[in-house]
Structure 1
Amino acid sequence: MSTCLHTLHVDLSTPSSDRSYPILIGRDLLADESIFADILEGRDVILVSNDVVAPIFAARVRGALGSRRRVTEVILRDGEANKTMAAVGDILDAALADRHERGAVMVALGGGVVGDITGFAAACYLRGIDFLQLPTTLLAQVDSSVGGKTGVNHPQGKNMIGAFHQPIAVLIDLQTLHSLPAREFSAGIAEVIKYGLISDIGFFDWLEQSASRLLAREESVLAEAIERSCAVKADVVSADEREGGVRAILNFGHTFGHAIEQVQGYGRWLHGEAVACGMVMAARVSAARGQVPRDFVDRLVALLGRFELPVTPPEDMSVADLMASMAGDKKVVEGRIRFILLAQPGNAVIVDDVSAAEIESACFDRANLD
């Protein structure tokens, strides 16, 4: 029997339309036929997963979808390296082959890669059909499943091809987290920590105090961490759906992190690992500017260390490599790279005046990082 512990709403209502949607957080939600019946009604489904997640969870989702609707399954290859236009093509080919109409719903069962690819395919198919997010990793549950950013990678940059396409709902089943390898779980914690850094210093303090219980994957602590993370993201997305302003603060650590992923080759570091390192780099630059205390950077490094997350750039990466990659980032405006720094702990700010010399001094002087 399922248990819903928290319900949040992403409010995207306007005078002309209402694209708001719920985020449900609980136990055994993936097996609850009544939840799927309420959300999907009698509509047909294109169920998209990958070759790691599907063998674990697809059967229970199929059971919850029931036998009265038509279900087309698409199984993608796992991994960031497979977040490509070819994968989108596989989904579209299957949907077209089974002659799905505009009333069909794409259902993304997996981590952030599956969610991003499926959402983009849904935005493209018949010029846009609905999709449902069933995130199975912590990172996807607190970040990529909420907010409507969809897309794929390109050799010249991460998420360079995509669309804003909001889901009709997000179902977060805590049971999926018990199957996560430790490295994947820790990668998700990086995004959880981000929310405390950019918006809620009290949440950061709570995470420091709760680290041991999070590592033990205690359900009540996980539920609170996910609920508080999603609440911050839902508020930001409701205020700025298409990243015209404040939503950019959600990219804290990501400008550096995306560059690390691209330069190394997608998949060498997990996304959350690259973001963890990127957050420390942004915090170090913020400290060098006198905006946060240096001992706060030490606290961040220590907390990330509890989860065995990287806190220094790869040894084979240079500042020149980093700057070249960031110059092609989709967040560049009029040739200037936008960075998210900390104005103070718990308060992020958008800047475009960070120099290569500043980054090298704060983040690549190995003698000062020990």
Structure 2
Amino acid sequence: MNAPVLIDADEAIRRLGVRRATLYAYASRGLVRSEPHPDDPRRSLYAAEDIDRLAARRRLGRSPGGAAARTLDWGLPVLDSAITLVEHGCLSYRGVEATGLAESATLEDTARLLWDCGEFDPFAEPPPPAPAAAPGPAATRCIAALADAGFAGSEVWGRDPRRRWAAAARLLRRTAAAAVARPPGPGATGPEPISAAVARAWTADPTAADLVRRALVLAADHELNASTFAARVVASTGASLAAAVVAGMAALTGPRHGGMTERVQALLEEVAAGGDARATVARRLARGDRLPGFGHPLYPAGDPRASALLARVRPDPLSDAVAAAVAELTGEPPNIDFALVALARGHGLPAEAPFTLFLVGRTAGWIAHALEQQATGGLIRPRARYVGRRRPSG
């Protein structure tokens, strides 16, 4: 777990706009983490992440309309879920820390956890026939494969959860096969794990194959991001798992989401063409451009998924130079988008590998949220605040 950024009481009070006694009350109630000051044990330091979260909540509490609008942009929670928790710089799947899970788990293990399968193993049955290889990039191939399978999935009406899990397993395997245009092969004790099939398609060496496995686990879910919300909205209509997953895939293609890995690659190519990482990064900052692949609103002290991958990735001079330049100029640490690109570059994987790893891994999460939405019921239908022209009165 990343150590929190700490601030003193005066700064915490300034950010919150409260009295000192109120700050102490927040700390005593566990709403704000505190630690003794290293130079003066009579004083305390406070977690900036907790202070800023409380400050945002206080501001929104004064404006119900503003609070509702803010929920759509990294705001307060809008629905209940028992799947994934992002808290205090840590990512957990149903109470299990994702970085620890990635040490040995497969994507199938992670899917069973996310789907809450218990002792039932929906991946025990043989893989379904591989979809016909469609032209185009990974997202296009996967969407075509799922559309070809049909959206009227029988799991929508099935009451036995094992029927839903079996359908989910087939869906995840079909997605992975379409993403790399290669179906899983027979394993020593059962069907080949998805990560092994992906690594084999890319002729990855054992070290890279293990990183592929880790990346799929770490990308499996990330709470209520844009693509997951899209999948839940579709699932809330009563549509099939396949339809919900296609909605997630469509959202993932946007440059602000899954397409971010392509923007990271473009940054590296720009640095390679210019030959000076620091100068290129400085020019972008001077233009007011954001740096793709660095920083994350939910991880002020650094993305733990990126740290878990980058600690094992083979050094790549270009990626390393860019990371060093950004750290020097902004202090922003890499996020998972940068880590996936560095993984592909350091281990000779295809240029499409970063996006593919994200898509295949996240499919397990989309399915988990669709299953949860199907189980809890209820149509997701927010209201809009009209700001257009109105008909003249009178």
Instruction: Please confirm whether the aligned pair reaches a TM-score higher than 0.5, indicating the same fold.
Output: no
Larger gyration radius, structure 1 or structure 2: 2
Q: Which protein has the bigger strand share?
A: 1
- TM-score, normalised with respect to structure 2: 0.26
- TM-score, normalised with respect to structure 1: 0.27
